[in-house]
Amino acid sequence: MRGKTKRLLCAAFAVICVFLIAAGAADVSARSCVSVFEGDVMYEPAFTHYEYGHGGVSDEEQTATVVVLGIPIKNVSVNVFKKTEVIPGGQSFGVRLKTCGITVAGTGSVILKDGTAEPAAAAGLKENDIIISVNGIEAISSQQFTELLKQNGENGLKIKYRRESVEYETVLYPVMDEHGEYKAGLWLKDTTAGIGTVTYIIPEDNSFGGLGHGICEADSKELLPFSSGEVFEAHITGVKRGKNGEPGELRGYFEKEPSGTLSANTESGVFGTLESCDKSKTVQIALKDRVKTGDVKILCTVDRSGVCEYDAKIIKILSYDTKEKNFIIKITDEELIKKTGGIVQGMSGSPILQDGKLIGAITHVMVNDPSRGYGIFIENMLGHKEK
């Protein structure tokens, strides 16, 4: 009887060991990159450790071998971050981004003395195309395009444009309208504007990150080509509540004078420098390996009360390796749900804190359930500054 019990215990122990080993191996095999603070020891699952190359973990980036029970499993990249304290955001800001090229906002008819014409449509131009050059001259503004139209309308304009990452060429032949002026039947814009939320500010130089995602073309969803930009203090005056199938949005206005500049538009957010900021409070950041499912706090501005803290939960970690949509977050705060219905447009960039540390930001709302959305790890946003 004792022998049988002993065998059962040994079998149970073996099963537990196999389970732990499998769990550790599965955890590390799902990742191509791990992160650690300079001077710290990396998190290692049960029966797992990392073997480093030369230099330990003091270099900014290197590789390590994942070893499970003495067996090398795979190589992973190691990103080493300096321990960082940042000012948590939560305040709304306005962004005005100037693109490389001129965006086609729409095409239409030109009224002639004896009818109508659609020269832009006839040339094949469509809404959201980006005009790169006109007659070999780099396209930089709608005003410049108007001047070139006046100067060359009689002969036509050689247009190079981009549509969903593919470049095309065409010739646009303007027509003379009922008032004797050359028109292209084209509406253009060289800037785009919107409201988002600041995620963090670096106290040493007032550099900041926000949105948690890039500003993209409407159709292709590709990043708008960045030329320059400004940021403005924004005031929230109202909210369109979100509901299933219909995302809500924050409504407000910008101050007339800019409060900072933009320097980049990336997959992980927009980045720039503020002229001034409140430096009375800073928090530590937590790297992605320390982020877990469970309770979190978010900071955001949804009315005239300013930045407020609300309850939420991380319900699932999706990916440690992608640049965005790293986890799913659910709003649980009844007050915020009453005000907004959950996550609404304009809350992108809202900081997420877990155990008092900044771990990431809200990036997108789930259209069919506004109480849920996606988040990005803070190190993915800070990685822009590290490069």
What CA–CA distance (Å, rounded) separates 31 from 17? 22
Neighbours of 10 (CB within 10 A): 10
Euclidean distance between CA atoms 373 and 365, whole angstroms: 4
User: Three-state DSSP class for 105?
Assistant: strand
Distance in angstroms (rounded) separating the CA atoms of residues 127 and 221: 14
Q: Does 371 participate in catalysis according to the annotation?
A: no
Beta carbons of 74 and 66 less than 8 angstroms apart: yes
In the set 92, 207, 213, 350, the catalytic residue is 213
| Distance set, CA 201 to CA 169, 209, 280, 282 (Å) | 43, 7, 12, 9
Q: Indicate if 213 belongs to the active site.
A: yes
Among 268, 348, 350, 371, which one carries the catalytic annotation? 348
Annotated catalytic residue, options 129, 268, 333, 371: 333
Which residues have C-beta within 8 Å of that of residue 246, sequence separation ≥ 6? 367
348 is catalytic: yes
Q: What is the DSSP string of 160-182?
A: EEEETTEEEEEEE--EE-TTS-E
Catalytically annotated residues: 213, 333, 348
